[in-house]
Amino acid sequence: MWKSYGSGDAAVTALAGVSVEFEREHFTAIMGPSGSGKSTLMHCLAGLDDVTDGEVWIGDTKVTGLNDKGLTELRRDQVGFVFQQFNLLPTLTAEENITLPLAIGGRKVDRAWFDTVIDTVGLRDRLTHRPTQLSGGQQQRVACARALVSRPEVVFADEPTGNLDSKSGAEVLGFLQKSAREFGQTIVMVTHDPNAASYADRVIFLADGKIVNEILDPTADAVLETMKHLDTAVGVS
């Protein structure tokens, strides 16, 4: 897919022909220098933004060309989101925030699945709290739980640990990893942190809107090494 902003001289190409497939039930991380198009890629994949050229599919659904109603329903029923910050509605309790996508869609909560998710993120005793009464890490875990509870085709996370300390970050990442491995949840995560990327099953590297590398079963060191190459490569070119 291709994505450019603006037109004429001021045009910025954010994605310059990216072809990528994310395997079902896998945890994939996207890395790359700042401005390389990571967020843009994720937004296009998730139906939050449309591509200039190319096609996006989620499962059997062709995302490209859907109208607003179709995109909204796609996001509601087949996609889960975790943003870097401001994930929760301040007027709702943790539990209401978690079940919000279901409530919006008028769907019933699968209690057994809900309990499993809650116990995995370890939020059982926080369910009646409001977001302001939760720590940043807890808030991100609530956001993760919300992304999972509707059993979406895929969960997208944009720097979910960007604002957290390492301990809270590790909890969130551990939970994402577990979701993929134990519950078979497909997850795509954008991150800057090689350590975070090491929780994934696969890491793809983006530079200047193109995929330039990928590593399977990464370790933090391997990712760091690749990143260094990337930086110098980009710096030279």
Partner 1 sequence: MLRATLKSLLSRKIRLVLSALAVVLGVMFVAGSFVLTDTLDRSFSNLFSNIYSGTDVSVTAKAKANAAGTVPASVVDEVRGVDGVAKAQGQVNGSARPIGKNGKVMTTAGAPRLGASWVDGDSQLEMRDGTGPKADNEVAIGAFLASTGGFKVGDDIELITLQPKQKFKVVGIYGFPGGRDSLGGELITSFTEPVAQQLMLGEKGVYTDINVTAAGGVAQDQLRDRVSAKLGSDYEAKTGAQLAKDQADQIAEGLKFFNYILLAFAGIALFVGIFIILNTFSIIVAQRTRELALLRSMGASRGQVMGSVVLEAFVIGLIASVVGLGAGYGVGALLANFFATFGGGSLQLASVQLPLSAVISSFSVGLVVTMVAAVMPALRASRIAPVAAMREAATPDRPLTRPTVAGAVILAAGGAAMAFGFTNQSLALIFGGVMAAFVGVALLTPLVSKPMVSLIGRLLSWSMPGVLGRRNSARNPRRTAITAAALMVGIALITGVSVVLTSATASITKLSDTQIKSDLIIAGEQANDGGSATFTTDVLDRMKSTSGVKSVVGWANDGALINDEQYWVAAVTDVDAMREQFGLQTKSGTIAPLREDQVGVSEERATEKNLSVSSTMKVQLSRGEPKTYTVAFIWAKTPVMQGVVLPSDAIKNLRIPQLGNAFVQVVPGQSVVDVQKRIEPLFADNPEISVQDRSAFTKQQTSQFDTVLLMIQILLALAILIAVLGVINTLALSVIERTRELGLLRAIGMKRAQVMRMITVESIVISVFGAVLGLAVGSALGVATVAALKDQGITEFAFPWLQMGQYLVVAAVVGVIAAILPAIRAARLNVLDAIAYE
Q: Which residues bind partner 1 (CB under 8 A)?
A: 43, 48-49, 68-69, 72-77, 79-81, 83, 86-92, 96, 100-101, 103-106, 146
The contacts of residue 59 (CB under 8 Å, 6+ apart) are: 78, 153
CB of 46 to partner 1, least distance (A): 8
Distance CA 47, CA 55 (A): 11
For the CB of residue 49, give the shortest distance to ligand ATP in the complex, in Å.
8
Question: Which one of 34, 67, 132, 237 is in contact with ligand ATP (CB under 6 A)?
Answer: 34
Q: How far is the CB of 38 from Mg ion (least distance, A)?
A: 5
Work out what residue 12 binds among Mg ion, partner 1, ligand ATP, none; the CB cut-off runs from 5 to 8 Å by kind.
ligand ATP
Backbone angles phi and psi of 137, in degrees to 5: -65, -45
Which backbone phi and psi does 61 adopt, to 5 degrees? -100, 130
The 3 state secondary structure assigned to 180-202 is HHHHCCEEEEECCCHHHHCCCCE
Shortest Cβ distance from residue 44 to partner 1 (Å)? 11
Q: What, of partner 1, Mg ion, ligand ATP, none, does residue 73 touch, CB below 5 to 8 Å by kind?
A: partner 1
String of DSSP letters for 6-64: S-GGG-EEEEES------TT-EEEEE-STTSSHHHHHHHHTTSS--SBS--EETTEE-T
Tell me which of 35, 65, 105, 184 binds ligand ATP, using CB under 6 A: 35
* Residue 17 is a binding residue for ligand ATP (CB under 6 A): no
Q: Residue 198's closest CA among 32, 38, 28, 49?
A: 28
Say which entry of partner 1, Mg ion, ligand ATP, none residue 126 contacts (CB below 5 to 8 A, set by partner kind): none
**Shortest Å, Cβ 218 to ligand ATP:** 18
Question: Per the structure block, which two tokens stand in for 148?
Answer: 């999972």
Residue of 160, 1, 164 lying closest to 80 (CA atoms): 160
Q: Could you tell me which residues are beta bridge partners of residue 29?
A: 189, 203
Q: Which of 117, 194, 196 is nearest to 157 (CA)?
A: 196
Q: How far is the CB of 163 from partner 1 (least distance, A)?
A: 15
x/- map, 193-232, ligand ATP, by CB under 6 A: ----------------------------------------
Query: Contacts with ligand ATP in 38-97 (CB under 6 A)?
Result: 38-40
